[in-house]
Amino acid sequence: MIRVLIVDDDPMVAKINKRYLEAVPGFVCAGIAEGVDSAIDMLNSTEIHLVLLDVYMPGKRGLELLKRMRNEQKDIDVIIISAASNIETIQSALHFGVVDYLIKPFEFGRFRDSLKKYKKKFELLHGHEKFSQEELDKLLKGNGQTPRLEDIPKGLTKTTLRKIVKTILRNKDATFSIEGLANEIGISRVSMGKYLNFLTEIKFLDVEADYETKGRPARKYRLSKQNTEAIYVYIEAADL
């Protein structure tokens, strides 16, 4: 069984995560810690394979625990489960080697898929003393292929996509129109529409109709609060 430590200062959230965890075969909750200090005590006294870690907690933040674990070279994996969706936190978490990052609120299906994927890697890693290249590729990717970013739709470029995403992230709480963002980036309205359609399709952006304008309602866009990590399948976090 994969032994999991849940680190979250909200008892209700921790209870929900424990229920979710125990609904996935192969996992057991080895403990719940309400802060970094109590988590450190449990990590030093209990066998733990995986930590489900919140970022925002009173006192020491979750990333402080993650950094300490890495500095002490603890052989324990971490999945971040947090409302923190800003690029700085995500980059720091990825830098310290988290195996996944779930942004609250999330659906159980996303949580279940993350644990099932982790379980496959855990079993593969702990079932071998040596690896062939094929087995190692399978461990790194899950399908025997060299890891790579997904391709963006034909007609779009990653250079322009990076500029657009950077601008949206910089103004993350603001709504914007195709025309406004096109003027800011310096491309045509038609081209910008293609990029925003793509970002809406992957649920990086939310779109709504603005009925305050005269005539046909204008489309207004806003950064999604639930799926900002969707873009990292297409662009490295370090590029933003």
List the chain pLDDT tens, one digit each, 240 residues. 999 999 999 999 999 999 999 999 999 999 999 999 999 999 999 999 999 999 988 878 899 999 999 999 898 999 999 988 888 889 889 888 899 999 988 888 889 989 988 998 888 777 667 777 776 766 666 543 334 456 788 899 999 999 999 999 988 778 999 999 999 999 999 999 999 999 998 888 999 877 665 656 678 999 987 767 778 778 765 556
Q: Do residue 123 and residue 180 come from a single domain?
A: no
The domain of 178 spans 158-239
Q: What is the pLDDT of residue 213?
A: 58
Q: What is the pLDDT of residue 227?
A: 65
Q: How far apart are CA 49 and CA 75, in angstroms?
A: 8
| Cβ(93)–Cβ(107) below 8 Å | no
Q: What is the pLDDT of residue 239?
A: 59
Q: What is the pLDDT of residue 100?
A: 93
CATH number where 48 lies: 3.40.50.2300
Q: What is the pLDDT of residue 50?
A: 97
Which of 114, 141, 168 is a domain's end point?
A: 141
Q: Do residue 42 and residue 95 come from a single domain?
A: yes
Q: How far apart are CA 102 and CA 120, in angstroms?
A: 18
Q: What is the pLDDT of residue 146?
A: 38
Which of 86, 111, 141 is a domain's end point?
A: 141
Residue at 93 is within a domain? yes
Which of 94, 110, 141 is a domain's end point?
A: 141
Residue at 225 is within a domain? yes
Q: What 8-state DSSP symbol labels residue 157? A: -
